[in-house]
Amino acid sequence: MPGESFYLTTPIFYVNDVPHIGHAYTEVAADILTRWHRQSGDDTWLLTGTDEHGQKILRTAVANDTTPKEWADKLVRDAWLPLLETLNVANDDFIRTTDERHETAVLIFLQKLYDDGFIYKGEYEGYYCVGCEEYKQLDDLMETADGDYAGQLVCKIHGRPVEVLQETNYFFKMSQFQQPLLDLYESQPEFVQPASVRNEIISFVRSGLNDLSISRSSFDWGIQIPWDTSHVLYVWFDALLNYITAIGYGTDDEQFARRWPGTHLVGKDIARFHAVIWPAMLMAAGIQVPTQVFGHGWLLVGGEKMSKSKLTGIAPNEITDTFGSDAFRYYFMRAISFGQDGSFSWEDLSARYQSELANGFGNLASRVIAMVSRYYDGVVPSPGPYGEADLGIQKTVRDAASAANTAIARLAIHEALAAVWTIVEELNGYITIQEPWVLAKDEAPRERLGTVLYTATEGLRALAVLLSPIIPESTEVLWSALGADSLGADSDGADSLGTVWEQLLPDAGRWGQLPAGSRVTPIEPLFPRIEPAVV
């Protein structure tokens, strides 16, 4: 029986350029959350993908002497799919807005809104930023005094001039959803999170909603409007629908009922599309609104949102080639409170790698396994009676697991990680105080040595499980090294615990799961030292 449904989405990324670490940040967070839910027994689904229509992609393709579809195919193949491998993301699906399954379902949705009277033809005159693919209000623009665009109105986000549009377009009657949206924010305070984003959305909607122009006739790279093929659909209207077209809206009712509603992870800059336009679209179509829209913060470089257009973009493999994907995943989730902005720096990354991953966690794992090998021929000893210090470790493990599970339910990944890290710190302190190498010198306290090393090894078992959604590669190595997945004759007939992925996170804090008698194998450092010259 599948557990509770947990359907999580990332934004679908524009294929006008290659990914940078800002995009990778969302992917990693989404992957960690879904791995966690999967290992909690939930019926989990992670969707990611690419946003391929619109003027921005069209112009990039033209500038590169190719067609938009060829351009998109190339970038998906050479950049966006490889990104998922680089980061070790276990997505369940990857949708492209040029997929036929998407286009078919978009037409069904559009026709329904049109038939039900939510779409009408009207005149549009206003400003458009191609970078944002968004119609702008004067508040979103500023006049520049100097530089290339002196005296022109530029978008506050992109710093580039907006274009004045004057077209006959189709409009979605968004204005009539102002009150239903305000009621939604009021009755479901969790709908938009964190609070800073929620407050911004509420004040935006309170200030009034216009109808939304949802078609363009000046170019043709998009999904054609079914009742008027001289227009293509506005790229955001098209893109937002991916969240339901990918799970069978209009084509597979059973799959759709099983997955929807979902949770959307987005950067705070696109929270408005997700928390205003999207629920209004769904309300008009009589579909349930999402469970939650969570707007995470930005990665800043030099105090500004990192971006390719401002030449501050850093490619994810610049980091993973040196530090590995686990360190990438760990660093961004540990160093930045999820939901807030955070600055990236190479110095901070190197320092945390060395002190937390290599010296803190990696060294703990190597040391404990080496001592079991040396003092017990690699066979995990049975514990004797537990004393205060040992019980202290058991409590740390229990509390950390419970705090981490609660934090993940609130999408507070950094808090979950900090909670789990208390086990690393406490265990390192415990070993320093218990001095197993002193106990090993003397036959008399042999039982005590067994208790200390069992405690340390079982602590590592809990750490491997609790960290597996965050640093999947090294925890899998650790898990095998603990012998947990291959218990043999020595283990008093105890069954193998299975793979680390089969361990249930809500149960991770329960003491005593690694059977005495498990056979450990020495390992290479999980996080090898990185020569400063490379960094």
Residue among 235 and 431 whose Cβ is closer to ligand MSP: 235
Burial class (CB in 10 A: 0-12, 13-18, 19+), 492: exposed
Question: Tokens 């490379």 map to which residue?
Answer: 534
Q: Is the Cβ of residue 286 or residue 303 nearer to ligand MSP in the bound state?
A: 303
Distance CA 364, CA 469 (A): 19
Please identify, among the stretches 100-108, 140-148, 302-310, 461-469, the one whose residues bind ligand MSP according to the rule CB under 6 A: 302-310
Give the CA distances from residue 453 to residues 219, 423, 432, 443, 482, in Å, rounded to whole numbers and listed in that order.
69, 15, 12, 15, 12
Q: Does 14 bind ligand MSP (CB under 6 A)?
A: yes
Which of the stretches 62-70, 137-145, 215-223, 264-272 binds ligand MSP when contact is defined by CB under 6 A? Answer: 264-272
Through-space distance between the first and last CA atoms of the chain, rounded to whole angstroms: 48
56 close to 133: Cβ distance less than 8 angstroms: yes
- The contacts of residue 519 (CB under 8 Å, 6+ apart) are 378, 379, 380, 483, 486, 487, 488, 490, 491
Q: Tell me the residue ranges of DSSP E strands in 330-474.
A: 342-343
Q: Identify the sign of the CA torsion 267, 270, 275, 280.
A: negative
Question: By CB under 6 A, is residue 293 in contact with ligand MSP?
Answer: no
Which span sits near ligand MSP by CB under 6 A: 139-147, 182-190, 265-273, 327-335? Answer: 265-273
Cβ proximity to ligand MSP, 51 vs 356, nearer residue: 51
162: its two tokens: 């907006």
User: Out of 191, 294, 298, 328, which residue is the one contacting ligand MSP (CB under 6 A)?
Assistant: 298
Nearer to ligand MSP, 20 or 448 (CB): 20
Kindly state whether residue 329 participates in binding ligand MSP, applying the rule CB under 6 A. Answer: no
The Cα 272–Cα 200 span in angstroms is 9
Residue 467 Cβ vs ligand MSP, minimum distance, rounded to whole Å: 24
Q: Which stretch binds ligand MSP (CB under 6 A): 12-20, 81-89, 169-177, 216-224?
A: 12-20
CA atoms within 13 A on the CB side of 320: 22
| Residue 266 sits in the site that holds ligand MSP (CB under 6 A) | yes
Going across the sheet that includes 299-301, the strands are 304-305, 299-301, 342-343
| Residues within window 306-325 making contact with ligand MSP, judged by CB under 6 A | 306-307
Q: Is 270 a residue that touches ligand MSP (CB under 6 A)? A: yes
Q: What one-character-per-residue DSSP string does 151-204 give?
A: TSEEETTT-SB-EEEEEEEEEE-GGGGHHHHHHHHHH-TTSEESHHHHHHHHHH
**Residues 483-502 interacting with ligand MSP (rule: CB under 6 A):** none
The pair of structure tokens assigned to 257 is 């009922």
Residue nearest to ligand MSP (CB): 267
Q: How far is the CB of 387 from ligand MSP (least distance, A)?
A: 48
Kindly list the catalytic residues.
20, 23, 129, 132, 155, 158, 305, 308
Is 299 near ligand MSP (CB under 6 A)?
A: yes
Ramachandran class of 151: left when φ > 0, alpha when ψ lies in -120 to 50, beta otherwise: left
Cβ 447 to ligand MSP shortest distance, Å: 53
Counting contacts by CB under 6 A, is residue 51 touching ligand MSP?
A: yes
Asked if 452 is part of the footprint of ligand MSP (rule: CB under 6 A), the reply reads no
76 lies in the binding site for ligand MSP (CB under 6 A): no
223-242 positions binding ligand MSP, by CB under 6 A: 239-240
Applying CB under 6 A, the residues found at the interface with ligand MSP are 11-14, 22-23, 25-26, 51, 239-240, 266-267, 269-270, 298-299, 305-307
